[in-house]
Structures are given as structure tokens and as C-alpha cells.
Amino acid sequence: MKIVFTGGGTGGHFYPIIAVAQRVNQIIDHENMLGVKLYYISNSPYDKEMLFENRLSYEEISTGKMRAHSSLRDYFYNFFDVFKIFFGVLNAILKLFSIYPDVVFGKGGYASFPTIFAARILRIPVIIHESDSVPGRVNKWAGHFAKKIAVSFVEATDYFPKKRVAWIGQPIRIEIESPAFRREALEYFKLEKDIPVILVLGGSQGAELINNTILDSLPRLLNNYQIIHQTGVKNFNMVADRVKVVLTGNQFQLRYLSLAFLNPLAMKMAAGAATIVISRAGSMLFEIASWGVPSILIPITNTNSDHQKKNAFSYARAGACSVIGEMNMTANILSSEIERITGDKVSYDAMAQNAKVFAKPDAAMKIARALMDIALSHEK
């Protein structure tokens, strides 16, 4: 049996693939299955160590991205990327013909297109998963022929054939689906036990607006809160330089901790320490939901179909978060909203409970079982 996973470009595509692969490996081990091989096909390995740990062999292809904007620069890049996509599809056809998997799992994104297209040509069964409330272009297209379609948001079911789509939630990696115990987490970060903790998640690439607003808020927030700030690798040095200026002489400067990146262990610990989470509104919101922690989401504007904005308001309608638009994101508004949520125990507890209800912890296993079922039937 052979299963191919494809997607990539961002952690929002990559990490759910890892989550599903983990459950596939659990099934393989539990059933004592032999000869099962897992592959990851994309234009970048994203995290080679994580692929290795989860028994995924990496196969590289080239691909391009079709930009929806109409500037001269976009037309220029699109022209050259057409050739990248063409050669990527040819490469994917050759790789899939060589591997000849029993099923392909597509997570969406431009990096998944060549492999999904090749699977279509070679008549290999395809399962796709959509993380956003509004599907991206690749998944919308793949939905016309995918054998099964899984979605994270119920709103996304409107874009796919009713007989083949299921609302199952977001696949979450085993190591971070449950937070650490609070006492253990506070000891890990050397934080005070009686002071609430704000966890700021800038994403793997960092979120400049969130970073800057948090830095502007530090003198006010550190009077009553501790902060774990994941800045993103590219913004870490800038944040560190500004913090030296902002917190010079501040008696509470040890209450602030900045990290470029949170590995799975650190993320689990941060989740356990967090009283409230500040984040964008991509697929990360499902991990936040699984922790049962109230949050404030700041969706990116001008993304595909404003999907982050729609994600955020879907989560807010469930009563699990508050939403601040980028245009309204100021130090005063953010600080006031943090104080409002954490200062009202009844409202806070309700948000925490609503977050847990919103999460669907069995999503990854449902996809894994569907992949195994289709792969087994294809083998016959």
C-alpha cells in the first residue's frame, strides 16, 4: 500500500498533513500492517525532520503560483509560473507513475496542484481537505472529482457536492492537541504562577501588525500580565531590538518572553500556560479551540476571498473568540479587549467552553481511516 500526501507553501497546509500521517501510522502499527509507504510531494520539504519522524519520504517537484491581482508585476510572474506549473505537472506524472500510490491526499494550496492533476490523469483516487470557510482555487477545482472531501468549517460545504463532502473539523498534530498542565508549563517558561499569561502567535512567518501592536502595548499589559510572544523567525531580531528600548527600566520586563519559533513541545507548554491567545485566523484557530482557551483573532485582509475574516467570524459566532479588524488594531483597543475578556469570569468560562465544543478532535483519524479504506479497495 502506498499513500501520497501533497500540499505545502505554509504551515497551515503542512501541519495538517503531518497530523493525518500520524494517525495513518497509528493504524499501521495497531493493525501490524507491512509494506505501507507514505510519500510527501511538494516544492519544498518545509520540515525535513518532521517528515522523517512521521515516516514520510519526500519527493520534490517544481510548481508556480497564479496570482489573482492585476498589476504588471503579477502578470510578469504569472507568465513565468505557467511554465513552472507545466513542468511540475509533467514531473508529478512521472513520480506518481513510478510510485503508483493507492490514494492521494491533497491539502490545497498551489503546491498541491501538479500532484492532484497528475492523479486525475492517472485515475488515482483523491481525497482533499479544506481548512478555510471559503475554499481556495485548487480545492474548488479538485472538488469536482475528489472521491471524498473533508472541510473544517461547515460553511465550506456549500462549495462542494453534497454527497461527497463532510464537515469533520481540522486535523491537529498529536503532540499539541492537548495543552500541558499549567504548573508544568509555567515552570518550563519560568513564569509567575499567579499572573495571567497572554500567548501571542505571529505564525511561522510572523505577523508584523500583531508584533508592533503588542510591543506598543507592553508598558500597560505587563502591569497585570505575562506575555509569551512567538514573533516569527524573520521578525525576531526587529522585535528584540525594539523590546530593549520599550522595556528599559521597566520593573516587569522579566514578564515578557519572545521566541522566534515554538517547536511542538514549546507550543504544548505555551498552550498550557495561556490564559488568552492572540492570533491570526488561519488554521491555527483550530489548535487554539482544541486547547479550550479564549482568543482574540486579527484576520489578515486582502487574502483569497477574505477567508481569514470569514474564518474569524465563524469562530466568533460560536462564542469562542473576539475579533479585531486590522484597521482597528491599536495598542489601546487590543489591551482593553484583553482586559475585558480576562476580567469577566462568566464570559471567560463561556468562551473557553465554546472553544472546546467548536473543536473536533477526531478529524485527523477520520481522514486517516478514509485514506486507508480507499487504499485497501484500490489495492484489490
Residue 108, annotated ligand binder?
no
Residue 62, annotated ligand binder?
no
Residue 11, annotated ligand binder?
yes
Residue 204, annotated ligand binder?
yes
| Cβ-based neighbour number of residue 219 at 10 Å | 14
- d(CA 380, CA 371) in angstroms, rounded, equals 15
Q: Output the pLDDT for position 283.
A: 86
Instruction: Give, for all 380 residues of the chain, the pLDDT tens digit.
Output: 999 999 977 888 999 999 999 999 999 999 999 999 999 999 999 999 999 999 999 999 988 776 666 666 766 666 677 888 889 999 999 999 999 999 999 999 889 999 999 999 999 999 999 999 999 999 999 999 999 999 999 999 999 999 999 999 999 999 999 999 999 999 999 999 999 999 999 865 558 899 999 999 999 999 999 999 999 888 999 999 999 999 999 999 999 999 999 999 999 999 999 999 999 998 899 999 999 999 999 998 865 668 899 999 999 999 999 999 999 999 999 999 999 999 999 999 999 999 999 999 999 999 999 999 999 998 76
Residue 173, annotated ligand binder?
yes
C-alpha gyration radius of the chain: 21
Query: In this structure, are residues 349 and 294 in contact, taking their beta carbons and an 8 Å threshold?
Result: no
Q: Output the pLDDT for position 380.
A: 64
Which residue ranges form the domains of the chain, and what is each CATH number? 2-172+361-379 (3.40.50.2000), 175-358 (3.40.50.2000)
CA 26 to chain centre: 22
Q: Output the pLDDT for position 78.
A: 65
Residue 164, annotated ligand binder?
no
